[in-house]
Chain A
């Protein structure tokens, strides 16, 4: 459907402007050239690496904090004002600061992705944690479970599938920030390649970049779903 519209759009564009709206075939060959001759794989892996590192770091901090905030009112009261304030700050506004601090380095990009994801992820995990069925916790209490057992044995397993869903959604946001980060002062990465192509009006290359990101996004999503199925067999819908 989408591909059909795309192809139609290409042929409906006046011939003089078709350069700015390449066909699927042209984008395909641009992709081939990128991978075969310009070492695009290197850029792709650099981008993936940045996403991976920043997202792992953000999750490693956001998930425990979110769960603790969701479980204990006093911890929530302690963190919430800070969290709310940070969430309203657009991550992109940190770009100048990060460039001054780190220069056009990998650290600057990873830090931006980290900032872009962590505060939202904390509040999502917080919601996931408070949304668990309260009778699970009460059942634990009446069985004589300690607070610690209730946290690790009941709250965490009950909330984890929803938390993984939140992570899956946030990694998509991560890709958005990646392109922003790489457009501003980067030598490598998918965003940098697209930005350079833009300077020479190579629309086919820009679109090739977009297609690549789309494909990678899809792949991440599939991986996440696979992990969820493996980790939470009890949560898998039985097909009948």
Chain B
């Protein structure tokens, strides 16, 4: 299946996503949401976009998703130029987007239906993913009767079932209360680990970013630029499943302090 190898070109690591010199201007250039932003994502890494409100991190995520277009710059997914949305980049929103007119099961199936996955396979994958997000008992429930956390789990299962190369998350747990929030964070780590996905997650929550991410890209505001690109080396290249374990690691407090200081600098 490796096209690069078939062409007898040397196998280089093509990044799952490469953003080159992305700028986004509004009001005829008077407002620069993003100014000359470049970065590459690495396969199977979770990258968190962190920064103060109005720093352009949401705009960047929406540009990657194809829901907005950059004023300048280029976006490549596995070396291919992309414009507009596509199922190779799945998105999970902060607002609940599990469709209320479909049951949990039909919701999870929906993305695969769009991709014309054969019915038998679709059913099997649907049940499988519902199990993974612990909703198999609620397969026939409508979202209306599900809690916020459960609705987000439906959305997560729907996105994963489509098997996208990259998963984009726009503060997916922002609307959830504290306890459900960390349950969801742990579930997400588990699923991402299992499904081997490249993830970009936006968060306001510094603690959440440190817990989830392998790398943090910190945005500064007006104009939106990358202020810092921080690999979370203190975790020693692994993902910590239980949050309390993370707090014990040397380097955690220092990183958190550093991020808070950066945030304060931006707010001033």
Q: A interface vs B, CB < 8 Å?
A: 133, 135-136, 138-139, 141-145, 149, 153-154, 157-158, 232-235, 238
Contact = CB atoms under 8 A, between A and B. Distances in A.
B99 A154 contact: yes
A238 B87 contact: no
Contact of A138 (B86, B89, B91, B100): B91
Contacts of A143: 87, 90, 110-111, 114, 158, 162
Nearest to B102: A234
Nearest to B107: A139
A138 B93 contact: yes
Interface string B146-187: 000000000100100010000010000000000000000000
A235 B115 contact: no
Contacts of A142: 65-67, 85-87, 89-91, 168
A131 B95 CA distance: 15
Contacts of A138: 65, 67, 91, 93, 97
B17 to A, nearest CB: 14
Instruction: Report which residue of A142, A154, A233, A235 has the largest number of chain B beta carbons within 10 angstroms of its beta carbon.
Output: A142
Contacts of B90: 142-143
Contacts of B100: 158, 234-235
A136 B97 contact: yes
Nearest to A141: B85
A135 B95 contact: yes
Contacts of B101: 157-158, 232, 234-235
A234 B101 CA distance: 5
Given A158-B99, A232-B101, A234-B101, A139 B142 contact: no
A38 B202 CA distance: 74
Given A139-B93, A143-B162, A149-B114, 18 more contacts: A133-B97, A135-B95, A135-B97, A138-B97, A139-B97, A139-B99, A139-B155, A142-B65, A142-B66, A142-B91, A143-B87, A143-B158, A144-B86, A144-B115, A153-B110, A157-B99, A234-B100, A234-B103
